[in-house]
Amino acid sequence: MRVTTPEEFEQLSANPRIQVRRAGAPRDGAKCVVYWMQRALRIVDNPALDVAIETANLLGLPIVAFFSVIPNYPNANLRHYHFLAQGLRDVAEDAAARGVGFIVRRHPDNSLEAFLEEVEAALLIGDENPCREPERWRKVLAGRLRLPYWTVAADVVVPSALFNRSYFLLHHFRPHLKAQLPKFLAPQPAAQPSRPFKPWKAIPSFDLAGDITSGFSKLDRTVAPVDTFTGGTRAALHRLRAFVDQDLARYETTRNHPEVKGTSRLSPYLHFGNISPLTIALAAQNAVERGKASAAACEKFLDELIGWRELAVLFVRHTPYYDTWECAEPWARKTLIEHAGDPRSYRYTFEQLERAETHDDLWNAAQREMVHTGWMHNYMRMYWAKKILEWAPDPARAYEWAVTLNDRYELDGRDPNGYAGIAWAIVGKHDRPWFDRPIFGVIRPMSGASIAKKIDADAYIRQNGGPSSTLSF
């Protein structure tokens, strides 16, 4: 282990992506640096891994990534674990090619603290996740460790800490974002380990050819895996290439047409960290340089990828009750309470909604798309959530039901983007007051009739089972 000065260490930790959760000097006589991989499941374009490699190089040590498979990840089911397992196989292959160790442990032999002692780690580097439970894990761990512990913002282009607040509307956020973008929207050099990882003793790791969920008796297996998406960096990069070469040029006109599927469909890969948002953004810009798309199409796409997505991260990071209707702004809460008793032409139970048993063929098609494919077009997500508000007994239950369905069936559920989208649709987050009307009050409404004027609704319904199809569980 190379002896470093406090100044060298401090200079490295000054990176704006890094949050020092436990300060201190690295362990004397350590044998490696450990990267706790959790949200960023990739080896390519991973700022957290790059920081871990830079730190390991500074100390003259190898780097090993550690992934812990737990049986009770919040709101995850077999569909999510299946996609996760596919991604882990790509991680293992890419880690070996880069000279990074990769160890996977399953419950009950998955203690991170025990692993740090087993491999005599100098310090711990992790990635960040703004959602409540993962953030709690990081705080608890920081209080228990006796090693330095840093986390790195690997899921955004611009580090969220630079803003240190949420914003009410996107156009309030854009100027602050654009001021920072030139420093971060650029290719980043990939750090290469100066000492490739070579185990000095037997370090057990789960064989990823096996079932990572084996023995998880309480895991919800009723939500089956889908064949519409394959997890991992390989599949993510394949989807990205197809999008920038074929669909980006038409993005401005097709992005709000769910029957055309003109969006990137990269959200599951972003949620699982199989691909970096920077990788996607740079590929879109490169498509413009190659004449594959216009600058206007690229700008609109980046507004969604970076603007809306990173606004959602700030929303979850700075809003304690982001997954309940308690996150409503005062004006939205007031109007929804005032209209809570308004007569509703249709009322449905949660089970009827889950089975797509409503009178609305368009809404049913959106619900079936989510259940069958693990994904729903963003334009339909807005309509889907707003109709739940219209049909549920009250706004609080509407929000709860939307979150439950989203997190259960979407591969990109349990994510800041999903929570922000539901908050926009049901409680007016990142939106402004509209015209007063029954049930919605001044929350912006959406109707099937208005959507049918903008899209080929019949085609979308046919693509997702037809008007008479319902779901059975």
227 occurs within a structural domain: no
342 occurs within a structural domain: yes
Banded model confidence at residue 105, pLDDT cuts 50, 70, 90: very high
Taking only Cα atoms into account, the Rg of the chain, rounded to an integer number of angstroms, comes to 23
Same structural domain, 28 and 119 = yes
Which of residues 128, 154, 180 is at a domain's end? 154
CA-based nearest residue to 371, from 53, 77, 59, 47: 77
Average pLDDT of the residues in 340-353: 96
Domain count for the chain, please give it. Answer: 3
Backbone conformation region of residue 465, classed left if phi is above 0, alpha if psi is from -120 to 50, else beta:
left
Banded model confidence at residue 470, pLDDT cuts 50, 70, 90: low
Q: Which residues contact 232 (CB under 8 A, 6 or more apart)?
A: 86, 87, 89, 90, 91, 274
pLDDT of res. 469: 65
Do 37 and 101 meet the contact criterion of CB atoms below 8 Å apart?
no
pLDDT of res. 199: 94
Q: Which residues contact 353 (CB under 8 A, 6 or more apart)?
A: 367, 388, 391, 401, 405
pLDDT of res. 472: 59
Same structural domain, 306 and 334 = no
Same structural domain, 280 and 373 = no
CA-based nearest residue to 258, from 457, 444, 402, 421: 457
pLDDT of res. 429: 97
CATH number for the domain harbouring residue 254 = 1.25.40.80
Q: Which domain holds residue 340?
A: 325-463
Strands 32-36 and 121-127: parallel
The DSSP secondary structure of 182-194, one letter per residue, reads: HHHSS--PPP--S
Average pLDDT of the residues in 283-302: 97
Which of residues 134, 154, 174 is at a domain's end? 154
The secondary element (H helix, E strand) that includes residue 21 is: strand 18-22
383 occurs within a structural domain: yes
| Average pLDDT across the chain, whole number | 95
For 468, counting Cβ atoms within 10 Å of its Cβ (0-12 exposed, 13-18 middle, 19+ buried), the class is exposed
314 occurs within a structural domain: yes
Same structural domain, 13 and 144 = yes
Same structural domain, 375 and 304 = no
Same structural domain, 331 and 251 = no
Same structural domain, 10 and 125 = yes
Q: CA 361, 440, 169: angle at the middle one, nearest 5?
A: 105
Same structural domain, 306 and 398 = no
pLDDT tens sequence across 114-168: 999 999 999 999 999 999 999 999 999 999 999 999 999 999 999 999 999 999 9
Q: Strands of 63-69's sheet, edge to edge? A: 18-22, 149-152, 121-127, 32-36, 63-69, 101-106
Rounded Cα gap, residues 248 and 239, in angstroms: 12
Q: Tokens for 113, please give them.
A: 């603290």
Count of positions (residues) in the chain = 473
Which of residues 295, 318, 341 is at a domain's end? 318
Same structural domain, 354 and 423 = yes
pLDDT tens sequence across 206-240: 999 999 999 999 999 999 999 999 999 999 999 99
Tell me which of 65 and 470 has the higher pLDDT.
65
Q: E-assigned strands of 197-326?
A: none
Rounded Cα gap, residues 236 and 282, in angstroms: 14
